[in-house]
Amino acid sequence: MTHSFDELVERQQAANAAHREVLRLRDEYGPPTAGGWTEAQTAMYETAWRAWRDLARDTQAAVTECAKEQGVARHQAEAEVKAKARAGESTPES
């Protein structure tokens, strides 16, 4: 399956957003290993972490496939996708 560059960027942005959610929860609840989380907090964190893991894994697989199809180095394709994804994300207002 061929993936367009824009699709790869959108996938990376989704993975980035999922990662930000994991970090937000970690900031709000404290480190996962510190203990003291409620069952609801643990479930929310684990769900967010799985979403990030799955999105990142799927994005990496798509980038690898696309790089192979186009005959470019995987690290080059990944760098271009990540740079474009970061450029297209809005920064939170302070």
What is the number of structural domains in the chain?
1
Tens-digit pLDDT profile for residues 20-62: 999 999 999 998 888 789 999 999 999 999 999 999 999 999 9
Better pLDDT: 32 or 91: 32
Per-residue model confidence (pLDDT) at position 93: 47
Range of the domain at 59: 5-88
> Considering the domain boundaries, does residue 94 fall inside one?
no
Verdict on whether the full-model pTM lies above 0.75: yes
> Considering the domain boundaries, does residue 42 fall inside one?
yes
> Considering the domain boundaries, does residue 19 fall inside one?
yes
> Considering the domain boundaries, does residue 93 fall inside one?
no
- The DSSP code sequence of 20-89 is HHHHHHHHHH--GGG----HHHHHHHHHHHHHHHHHHHHHHHHHHHHHHHHT--HHHHHHHHHHHHHHHS
